[in-house]
Chain A
């Protein structure tokens, strides 16, 4: 046997096989005004028909509608890998005449998932924790406006430190190529100006080949992605059938990189960065939440001061970040402390017993 070959190079394969068996959980949120092609895009991305029975309410019904959070789950299997995809939709966002604070339910929802995870993580039965945290939020920007609207800015600032944001321009076939470029640049400038942190795609490894690096840079340069979705297959006179939208003046092909960034989005979201999105959610966003949460518990007197200064640093909007039900979490932590203490006591007792029996044993040996 080769002495240098230990064999742990097979570890990735083992991990891979384990996770394939376990399957993946992924929660994707879509947000933005209605009519920007969100549902069509989701169906196109995941080749599903999640929104088949949807009833779009009339305008008069929407006059008094408040924002609701809807969850749809679907299991997708491909190449032996099972993904349990949860889609979180926000119908009603941006619809009303007065949209003040309409993003608060969304923020609360995201934080509730973190809270649930924190609770589960601190609990006893951690084997089957369900991860319902939102791993990614696709935010749809209108192609008809002149960049981010006040509502877009308000929403993004409320959630950018709690969820990975990937900005997307919906219905991008409304734009000519020059207009698309100009709009993308405007949005990028505005994001920088408003200090909104969107999801940063990680740098490629230095040992990747030039082609890959170029492709990666190109992809990053096309953010926000200008997308077109379609669930219809069109056949353009003899050529192979493609998914697209047929107009009197031509056909837009969803998967044609000259027409829109759909392929880029799909590649980045599904094929290469699904895992990274989960990791960033866990390592960065969730940890941030957890730290804030526990810190504010640890120093109850200083709580108001720190959270207030955090508020002024994080967001210039007047809206205070929704407070966690601290009383509950506090109680939980105390309960856990109690348990730990009891377990400690038990351990000590057991140790004492063991020592006793050992001592007795020695005595009897000695005798």
Chain B
């Protein structure tokens, strides 16, 4: 069914547990089966599912790219709700902000009994100025601030049952469909940020490229990213097993970056109502894989890798931040944090929540 957006009170969530492998059933222990019969351990999966449904989960997605690349429209299309307010496109009073702003808006959407507290973090002003030097700094700062917030909660003596997770799980970076290659700003942003957050590059407004142009552009972009040592999500080094690796290799080497088109308008095509863009030469269907890769992006981010995005954020990016903070704090006078906030003195023993 279509999700309804409900403005609920803030939902917090469990710190994610070590990753189970839900798809692969556990190999049955070879015990004499007539002795023991059916134990019922496999119902743990159902129990976890029920719990998740009850508590719901957080997902924080950031969108970065020059204005006009369809970021808000894409997010709205992804989550099939108006979760991102489009800057009124043709409003004369709306000016491009002089510095990059960070705007986080939360919504609760529900589907099939599962509640998701979705936060969309927009970054208006990125890449729009004449001089865009260091325009990624406010973004890096915001991401680190969320890690810091989480760290402070974790390090507390009396901790909350569920630490609210505002960390950025996924950053969609919008590449302009020039057809040539990446722009210097794209490289600079991704170089700086791929080490602190999961970056998923997407080619925006891909309806301006023919199939050949798309394929060539993607190849060039992939090569440029590789040459510059930029690891986008799913990062090669975090593939856990062969199964992951094969699946992710295919995505990394063939599908990404996803060439997407977004739309919030519906048209009638072959008797069906589809989301699309109507031009004098044809209708572009957003969810038609022959037209663009929106459906691939959606399945990737939401249907298959949502949990993994969160886990990599928690187990890798956050841990990296935490380790650095704990090391640095060792050099600073006790009680003072990097961001000028007062941290309780770090215990000598390793933190018990470390996975």
Identity of the chain B residue whose Cβ is nearest the Cβ of A33 in the assembled complex = B178
Name the A residues within 8 Å of B285 (CB-CB): 249
Name the A residues within 8 Å of B128 (CB-CB): 149-150
Q: List 18 A-B contacts (CB under 8 A).
A: A35-B177, A60-B227, A95-B183, A99-B131, A144-B204, A146-B68, A146-B90, A149-B128, A173-B207, A182-B90, A186-B92, A247-B291, A248-B291, A249-B284, A250-B279, A250-B282, A251-B281, A259-B280
Q: B69 near A185 (CB under 8 angstroms)?
A: no
Name the A residues within 8 Å of B220 (CB-CB): 58
- B210 at interface, CB cutoff 8 A: yes
If A58-B224, A145-B67, A176-B279 touch, does A34 touch B205 (CB 8 Å cutoff)? no
If A97-B184, A252-B281 touch, does A182 touch B89 (CB 8 Å cutoff)? yes
Q: A60 near B187 (CB under 8 angstroms)?
A: yes
Identity of the chain B residue whose Cβ is nearest the Cβ of A100 in the assembled complex = B131
Which parts of B181-218 form the interface with A (CB within 8 Å)?
A: 181-188, 204-205, 207-208, 210-211
Which parts of A143-161 form the interface with B (CB within 8 Å)?
A: 143-146, 149-151, 154
Number of B interface residues in the complex (CB < 8 A): 51
Q: B208 near A171 (CB under 8 angstroms)?
A: yes
Name the B residues within 8 Å of A60 (CB-CB): 184, 187, 224, 227-228
Q: A238: shortest Cβ distance to chain B, in Å?
A: 17
Interface of B toward A, CB cutoff 8 Å: 66-70, 87, 89-90, 92, 94, 96, 128-133, 176-188, 204-205, 207-208, 210-211, 220, 224, 227-228, 277-285, 290-291
Task: Place the interface of chain A in its size category.
Answer: 35 or more
Q: B279 near A144 (CB under 8 angstroms)?
A: no
Q: Mark A43-77, 1 if CB is under 8 A from B, else 0.
A: 00000000000001111101100000000000000
Name the B residues within 8 Å of A142 (CB-CB): 68
Name the B residues within 8 Å of A250 (CB-CB): 279, 281-283
If A58-B224, A98-B133, A249-B284 touch, does A146 touch B87 (CB 8 Å cutoff)? yes
If A59-B183, A98-B132 touch, does A249 touch B205 (CB 8 Å cutoff)? no
Name the B residues within 8 Å of A98 (CB-CB): 130-133
Identity of the chain A residue whose Cβ is nearest the Cβ of B282 in the assembled complex = A250
Besides the known contacts A60-B184, A249-B285, A250-B281, 15 further A-B residue pairs in the complex with CB atoms under 8 A apart: A35-B177, A56-B181, A60-B227, A60-B228, A63-B188, A97-B188, A100-B131, A144-B204, A146-B87, A150-B128, A182-B90, A247-B207, A247-B210, A250-B282, A250-B283
CA distance A16 to B156 in the complex (A): 89
Main SS of chain B's interface residues? loop
Interface of A toward B, CB cutoff 8 Å: 33-36, 56-60, 62-63, 95-100, 142-146, 149-151, 154, 171, 173-174, 176-177, 182-183, 185-186, 189, 245-253, 256, 258-259
Name the B residues within 8 Å of A185 (CB-CB): 90
Identity of the chain A residue whose Cβ is nearest the Cβ of B183 in the assembled complex = A59
Name the A residues within 8 Å of B67 (CB-CB): 145-146
Name the A residues within 8 Å of B178 (CB-CB): 33-36
CA distance A85 to B176 in the complex (A): 32
Identity of the chain A residue whose Cβ is nearest the Cβ of B289 in the assembled complex = A248
Q: A150 near B96 (CB under 8 angstroms)?
A: yes
Q: B176 near A62 (CB under 8 angstroms)?
A: no
CA distance A150 to B125 in the complex (A): 11
Q: B66 near A58 (CB under 8 angstroms)?
A: no
Name the A residues within 8 Å of B291 (CB-CB): 247-249
Q: B205 near A59 (CB under 8 angstroms)?
A: no
Name the B residues within 8 Å of A256 (CB-CB): 280
Name the B residues within 8 Å of A35 (CB-CB): 176-180
Name the B residues within 8 Å of A177 (CB-CB): 279-280
Q: A59 near B210 (CB under 8 angstroms)?
A: no
Name the B residues within 8 Å of A246 (CB-CB): 210
Name the B residues within 8 Å of A95 (CB-CB): 183-184
Name the A residues within 8 Å of B68 (CB-CB): 142, 144-146
Of A36, A58, A248, the residue contacting B290 (CB under 8 A) is: A248
Name the B residues within 8 Å of A57 (CB-CB): 181
If A144-B68, A146-B89 touch, does A63 touch B180 (CB 8 Å cutoff)? no
Identity of the chain A residue whose Cβ is nearest the Cβ of B134 in the assembled complex = A97
Of the listed residues B208, B210, B227, B284, the one surrounded by the most CB atoms of chain A closer than 10 A to its CB is B208
